[in-house]
Amino acid sequence: MALRSIIRRASSSINTNYRIWAQEKQNDTSQFTKSHLLNSGYLRDGQIPEALQYDHAYKLTTLSNGVRVATEPFDNAIATVGVMIEAGSRNETMANTGIAHFLEHLHFKGTNKRTRIQLESEIENMGGNLNAYTSRETTLYQMQVFKNDVSRAMEIISDMLLSSKYDKTSIEIEREVILREAQEVDADMREMILENVHYTAYRNHIMGQPILGHKTSIMQINRDQLKKFIYTHYVGPRIVVLGAGPISHDQLVDIAEKNFGKVAKTTEYPFDGEDPPEFCGSSIYVRNDLDELAHMGVFYEAPSWKHEDYWPFLLLQRIMEYDPNAPINTNYPYGLYNYMNRWFGDMKDIKKQECLFIPYRDTGMFGHYASGEFITSLIKPTIDRKQTYLEELSFEEIQRAKNKIYTELLAIEAGSDMIQTLGCQLIYMDKKVPKTEIASRIAAMDKKYLEATYKKWFSEGDTALAIYGPTSTIQRINEV
């Protein structure tokens, strides 16, 4: 921790002011100029691309019961509205794992006002598109509709969330569907490894349990449990109503007031799973000698969404990440400017490699997923690699990763991407973080700062390891 005081805080000179785009650069004739770049062709530390100096206007209103309403209006033919709830599989107990995801399914199955068929045809007939996602900490329902259908879309979402029937027949049908879905997730090796990494890293916490739940508890979930989960977690301060596109903020506030204004502000039940999980160094391996490929996940503890080191980890992940379009193959010149990828690429057995940063509210994990033929012999080098990685961290690699983040930020264009970004920022950071601010934070980071951050987190600390496949050298894993 003593190290921390001598690190130059990258956040000390962050420009959080952004400009609202107003077509001001109408006749700019030097958009492609390189005059502002260093001789090496890169942006100076602290300098962000011109296009990232702007963001959409943004408005936030909090209703009396704590529900937040946020809009990012822009001109478009399609409007995106959504409701993000700060509740997910981490708010379950061992007795009801999978209930958050179960609820998501049942919300599509009919309300007091609409039967399932009516609900489906109403949305399909109006040209709407409804999606929902359940993660460990949040649940998102979103609809993309023609611009005149905004209030109808919000009414449908609130009807689903607050007046669903959870009737017995639907519960039984969905139980089967979810069990089949769980089988599919298990068959996806990458998903399975990530679930196993969570299990082993958060052994003493509900965070370690799979999002879809355990078969035994899925078999037992009933209507009362479902309703209790709603009463407990769907309270005002944990609900964010989101809109992007051709939506007036005042209109959305009115609609939200009408539909979510009566949601309770507090609950009589205590929230489950709110205690911070402890990252536990451990390993889990599943032996299957019949499978040709082995899969592994090697993960370390990393900052949470709320930690100031969240930002440098965004950059560290891009520095190490694998170019998903590039097959690992020595015929391709793809290793250059990405030493981690080249290092993995030189290992002939590796077929796939991916670097992941998975932050949560009060914890996070960072590491690699890889698959290949003789992967067990790679585990120790991969872990050792963690210590030596920084020696090769070059100026070019940092620049490449910064540019990657800039283009990713500029690619947040669709309403659905915008409300997902905004929803997470409001839930985890209590404010919208403009693209300009994110870019400025990234731009301010230099090698020294990244090195210090990296050392702070990785010079010691535990490893969570998950392995699957023909692990014939299983003894060696124990030695690790």
Partner 1 sequence: MIKWSILKNGVRVLTEKTPFPTSINLGVLLDVGTRDETPKISGTLHALKKIYLRTHTNSDEQKNYCTVQMSGGDFSMDYDQEKTYYHGTCLAHDTYDFLQMARDCIFDEKNEEDAKIAHERLSEHWKANQNVMPDQLITSFMLPAAFGENGIGLPLDGHEGAYPSITHTTMNEFRNTCISPEKIIVAAAGVNNHEEFENSVKPYFENLQAPEHLKARIPSQYLGGEFRHEIQSDMTYMSLSFEGVSWTNDKMPAFQVLRTAIGEGGGFSTGGPGKGMHSRAYNTFLRKYPFLESVKCINQHFTDTGLFTILISGLKAYSGHMAEAMVKETLDLQRMTDIEIARAKNLLKNQALLTLEKTGPRIEDTVKMFMTFGSQKNYIELIDAVTPQQVRELASKVIKTRPSLVILGQGTENVPSFDKFQARLS
**Which residue is it, tokens 């006749």?**
27
What residue ranges in 33-153 does DSSP mark as E strands? 54-55, 59-62, 68-73, 78-85, 129-134, 139-146
Residue nearer to partner 1 on the CB measure, 121 or 204: 121
Contacts to partner 1 from residues 38-57, by CB under 8 A: 41-42, 49-54, 56
Whole-number Å distance between alpha carbons of 77 and 145: 9
Give the shortest CB-460-to-partner 1 separation in angstroms: 32
**Nearest-10 Cα torsion for 332, 333, 334, 338:** 150
Contact criterion met (CB below 8 Å) for 226 and 111: no
Which of 410, 448, 472, 474 touches partner 1 (CB under 8 A)?
410
Question: Does residue 221 contact residue 175 with C-beta atoms inside 8 Å?
Answer: yes
Interface with partner 1 includes 331 (CB under 8 A)?
A: yes
The alpha carbon torsion through 171, 174, 175, 178 (nearest 10 deg) reads -150
Nearer to partner 1, 110 or 236 (CB): 110
Least CB distance to partner 1 at residue 23 (A): 8
Instruction: Provide, rounded to whole angstroms, the least separation between the CB of residue 90 and partner 1.
Output: 24
Place of tokens 């029937």: 165
Q: How far apart are CA 276 and CA 280, in angstroms?
A: 12
Residue closer to partner 1 (CB basis): 156 or 263: 156
338 Cβ contact partners less than 8 Å away, ≥ 6 residues apart: 319, 320, 321, 322, 323, 397, 400
- Beta carbon of residue 357, minimum distance to partner 1 (angstroms, whole number): 17
Q: Is 152 near partner 1 (CB under 8 A)?
A: no
Q: How far is the CB of 322 from partner 1 (least distance, A)?
A: 12
Query: Which residues, numbered 17-36, are part of the site for partner 1 (CB under 8 A)?
Result: 21, 25-34, 36
If the CB atoms of residues 214 and 400 are measured against partner 1, the closer one turns out to be 400
Report 461-480 residues binding partner 1 (CB under 8 A): none
**Count of residues touching partner 1 (by CB under 8 A):** 74
Residue 311 touches partner 1, criterion: CB under 8 A: no
- Pair 465, 284: CB distance under 8 Å: yes
Instruction: Choose among 336, 341, 388, 338: nearest CA to 368.
Output: 341
**Nearest CA among 407, 390, 376 for reference residue 480:** 376
Which pair of tokens denotes residue 373? 């033929």
Q: Which two tokens stand for residue 427?
A: 């839930």
Residue closer to partner 1, measured from CB, 49 or 237: 49
Residues 332-361 that bind partner 1 (CB under 8 A): 332-334, 336-338
Contacting partner 1 within 164-223 (CB under 8 A)? 177, 180-181
Our finding on whether 365 is near partner 1 (CB under 8 A) is no
**Smaller CB distance to partner 1: residue 373 or 408?**
408
CB 38 within 8 A of CB 213: no
Positions in 274-293 near partner 1 (CB under 8 A): none
Of the candidates 359, 357, 427, which has an alpha carbon nearest to the alpha carbon of residue 139? 427
Interface with partner 1 in residues 370-409 (CB under 8 A) = 396, 399-408
How far CA 287 is from CA of 299, 371, 379, 464, in Å, comes to 20, 14, 15, 17
Among 413, 430, 460, 479, which residue sits at the site for partner 1 (rule: CB under 8 A)? 413
Whether residue 261 contacts residue 63, with contact meaning beta carbons closer than 8 Å, is answered with yes
Catalytic residue (one of 104, 137, 321, 397): 104
**Nearest distance from C-beta of residue 213 to partner 1, angstroms:** 17
Residues 6+ apart with CB under 8 A from 302: 313, 357, 358, 359, 364, 365, 366, 457
User: Segment 235-264, which members bind partner 1 (CB under 8 A)?
Assistant: none
Does residue 72 carry a catalytic annotation? no
Q: If binding is defined by CB under 8 A, does position 78 make contact with partner 1?
A: yes
Q: Which of 71, 91, 134, 144 binds partner 1 (CB under 8 A)?
A: 144
Spatial separation of the C-alpha atoms in residues 234 and 87, rounded to whole Å = 8
- How far is Cα 205 from Cα 97, in angstroms, rounded to an integer? 12
Closer to partner 1 by Cβ: residue 156 or 192 = 156
Q: What is the DSSP letter of 377?
A: G
Of 79 and 194, which has the nearer Cβ to partner 1? 79
CB of 121 to partner 1, least distance (A): 6
Residue type (1 letter), 71: T
Contact flag: residue 414 with partner 1 (CB under 8 A): yes
Listed ranges 124-132, 227-235, 307-315, 461-469: which one lies at the site for partner 1 (CB under 8 A): 124-132
What is the nearest approach in angstroms of partner 1 to the Cβ of residue 300? 26
Q: Exactly one of 2, 6, 77, 187 binds partner 1 (CB under 8 A); which one? A: 77
Catalytic residues: 104
